[in-house]
């Protein structure tokens, strides 16, 4: 694998950064220590501009190439936040914060972009400007949207933007990508079913909200199996059921359902929202109950731009000898907001045969670092070659 030699040399140092970050996970926008660590390293590397506090705790740094004949500007983005999960790896560098861990590998993403930053600041073997984006609150907070809304793209005249995520199950150090829709839109719904509570021995005197809610849960699955075109992608999952009573002998007056809908197409997304509401309200009414539905739209579909996907694939081939076709992912990613603002692409980096992301035994594979750093650097040097 033609990894850049400098990253093989830097591997112990970058690994040390990664494991330090792993020991100190932070959630959502509360990435103060992580942002401080990133800013300190970038300052050491001698970046040309360093700004903190973008998107609350985001960090943006600028590195200028040895020339700038065409005015090109490329953005490279890594996410910094962790998850509210209790770590179960038993590692000597495991999380020191109870109930929080880097269970998605953002520690690895941050460390790899720092490694690429060090290399790019040393070599400056490109014609143009690189903008390094270290983003908080990817895990549900929409930090990418906040940074875009605060004018990041216009402020630094970013013309293209690229992101990366490690991927358990892909062979270590390999790279995979696809053009077009890649990661799903992620929406949430809450359904509150209200009937008439009463004694469990006298169900005929009640409108049993538990029975009504059960029918709704089953009927929601028909949206996927009987409403949407089979060639479309849709997931509707009810993930929590909570009644207003905890007693064995009480029929509750209310049941609260929580769930998520994942889609790859805006039309399917609109249909899912409408059908969830229609099914819940209609079934409840048929039993003499009511259903109040709240549907909250989350991250939009993440769509890779075709031309930039080609550039990302070319860089991957230069690093790994090939670039595989990635699968559609029904998980969500708030890099989608950056790809709505600017053309760009998002790629997967093989983490090997490890526990899946969002799992208490997951750990980023440090052996993937040279490939990840090399890809960042290769994107820059291929897209902005020195004449």
Both tokens of residue 187?
């929406």
139 is in an annotated binding site: yes
Evaluated on CA atoms 97, 186, 362, 322, the torsion sign reads: negative
Nearest Cα residue to 252 out of 301, 313, 329, 199: 199
Rounded Cα–Cα distance for residues 37 and 35 (Å): 5
| Residue 376, CB-side half-sphere exposure with 13 Å CA sphere | 30
**160-167/73-79 β-pairing:** parallel
Beta-carbon neighbour count of residue 47 at 10 Å? 21
Q: Is-contact 295 260, C-beta < 8 A? A: no
Is 323 part of any known ligand binding site? Answer: no
Indicate if 154 belongs to the active site.
no
Residues 6+ positions from 108 with CB-CB distance below 8 Å: 18, 102, 166, 364, 365, 366, 368, 369, 372
Pairwise CA distance, residues 280 & 372, whole Å = 46
Residue with tokens 């819940």: 280
| Residue 165 in marked binding region | yes
Cα(37)–Cα(60) distance, integer angstroms: 13
- Look up 138 and say whether it is catalytic: yes
**Which one of the listed residues 26, 107, 127, 138 is annotated catalytic?**
138
Q: Where are the alpha helices (DSSP H) in 287-327?
A: 306-320
CA gap 111, 105 in Å, rounded: 10
Which of the residues 26, 79, 81, 381 is marked catalytic? Answer: 81
Residue 104 labeled ligand binder: yes
Catalytic residues: 81, 138
Question: From the annotation, which residues make up the binding site for Mn(2+)?
Answer: 104, 106, 139, 165, 358
């Amino acid at each position: 694998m033609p990894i850049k030699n400098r990253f093989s040399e830097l591997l112990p140092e970058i690994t040390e950064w990664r494991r330090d970050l792993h020991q100190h996970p932070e959630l959502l926008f509360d990435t103060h220590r992580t942002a401080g660590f990133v800013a300190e390293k970038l300052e050491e590397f001698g970046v040309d501009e360093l700004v903190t506090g973008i998107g609350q705790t985001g960090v943006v740094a600028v590195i200028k190439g040895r020339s700038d004949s065409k005015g090109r500007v490329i953005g490279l983005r890594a996410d910094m936040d962790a998850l509210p999960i209790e770590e179960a790896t038993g590692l000597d560098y495991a999380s020191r914060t109870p109930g929080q861990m880097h269970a998605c590998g953002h520690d690895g993403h941050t460390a790899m972009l720092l490694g690429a930053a060090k290399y790019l600041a040393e070599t400056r073997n490109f014609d143009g400007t690189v903008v390094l984006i270290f983003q908080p609150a990817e895990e549900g907070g929409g930090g990418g949207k906040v940074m875009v809304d605060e004018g990041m793209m216009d402020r630094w005249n970013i013309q293209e933007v690229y992101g990366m995520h490690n991927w358990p199950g892909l062979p270590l150090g390999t790279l995979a990508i696809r053009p077009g829709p890649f990661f799903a839109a992620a929406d949430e719904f809450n359904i509150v079913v209200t009937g008439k509570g009463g004694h469990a021995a006298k169900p005929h005197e009640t409108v049993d909200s538990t029975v009504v809610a059960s029918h709704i849960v089953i009927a929601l699955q028909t949206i996927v199996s009987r409403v949407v075109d089979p060639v479309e992608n849709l997931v509707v999952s009810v993930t929590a059921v909570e009644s207003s009573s905890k007693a064995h002998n009480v029929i509750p007056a209310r049941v609260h359902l929580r769930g998520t809908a994942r889609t790859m197409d805006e039309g399917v997304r609109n249909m899912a929202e409408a059908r969830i509401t229609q099914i819940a309200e209609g079934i409840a009414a048929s039993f003499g109950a009511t259903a109040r539905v709240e549907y909250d739209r989350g991250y939009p579909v993440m769509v890779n731009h075709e031309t930039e996907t080609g550039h990302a694939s070319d860089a991957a081939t230069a690093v790994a000898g090939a670039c595989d076709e990635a699968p559609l992912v029904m998980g969500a990613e708030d890099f989608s907001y950056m790809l709505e603002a600017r053309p760009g692409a998002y790629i997967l980096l093989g983490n090997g045969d490890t526990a899946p992301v969002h799992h208490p035994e997951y750990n980023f594979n440090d052996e993937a670092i040279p490939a990840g750093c090399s890809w960042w650097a290769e994107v820059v040097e291929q897209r902005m070659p020195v004449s």
